[in-house]
Copies of this chain bind each other. A is one copy, B any other.
Amino acid sequence: MTKREVRILTLVNAQIGAEDLIVDVGAGTGSISIEAAKIALGGHVYAVEKEPDAVKLIRQNAEKFNVKNLTVIEATAPDGFENIPPLDVAIIGGSGGWLMDVLNAVDEKLKIGGRIVLNFITVQSLANCLGWLKAHSNYRYDAIQVQINRLENIGFKDMAKALNPVHIVTAKKIHSAQAAKVIGFAEMKSRIVSKGGLNCA
């Protein structure tokens, strides 16, 4: 299950509205899906998850928390996207190695103004995602690394225990007209490289 602080920041960054249509890719236990469904009471959440055991868990949790506006899709994304309507929000916690395909499928469904929020625990998936976003000039993004240490109460002292760091990438789809004003990646690259490159590895 996604750690509490990362879950909170992910949900806040998704800027979920009351009527929003949301996909949660790699939904796991459904902790994000269910909280999203409770925010988007007039909307709907599509939780895509490939593991049968996890799918069962999401259904149980949805019942337990009395969440009705949630559909679980048992599939390896982007499979299962066919029946998903145009989206306001996509939350990607796990992509099973098919990140590029998932991003392309999300992009097809995402409305202008829609948000994608992704969590990463590996360098390579993070780099791939940033590469995809740089290649799509109609997205604005920002990215953070979140590192949480819990202070464990051990009587009359408190000891720092580290949680594994997570990167959160938040992207917003903008109008092509706006994107046109943004300097293109290829042009940016040529400008920088022609100056001899950055002085860092």
Residue numbers of A with Cβ under 8 A of B are 5, 8-9, 12, 26, 28, 50-51, 76, 92-99, 118-127, 129-131, 134, 141-151, 153-165, 167, 185, 188-189, 191-193, 196-201
How many Å lie between the Cα of A197 and that of B76 in the bound state? 10
With a cutoff of 8 Å between Cβ atoms, the chain B residues found around residue A96 in the complex are: 196-199
With a cutoff of 8 Å between Cβ atoms, the chain B residues found around residue A197 in the complex are: 76, 96-98
Question: Which one, B92, B122, B157, B201, contacts A118 given CB within 8 A?
Answer: B201
Some 15 contacts from A to B, beta carbons below 8 A apart, are: A26-B201, A97-B193, A99-B201, A119-B201, A121-B160, A122-B201, A123-B126, A124-B130, A124-B156, A124-B157, A134-B156, A145-B149, A147-B149, A162-B162, A162-B165
| Closest chain B residue, CB of each to CB of A198 | B97
Is A161 touching B160 in the complex (CB atoms < 8 A)? no
With a cutoff of 8 Å between Cβ atoms, the chain B residues found around residue A155 in the complex are: 185, 188-189, 191-192
How many Å lie between the Cα of A15 and that of B99 in the bound state? 35
Nearest Cβ on chain B to A125's Cβ, whole angstroms: 5
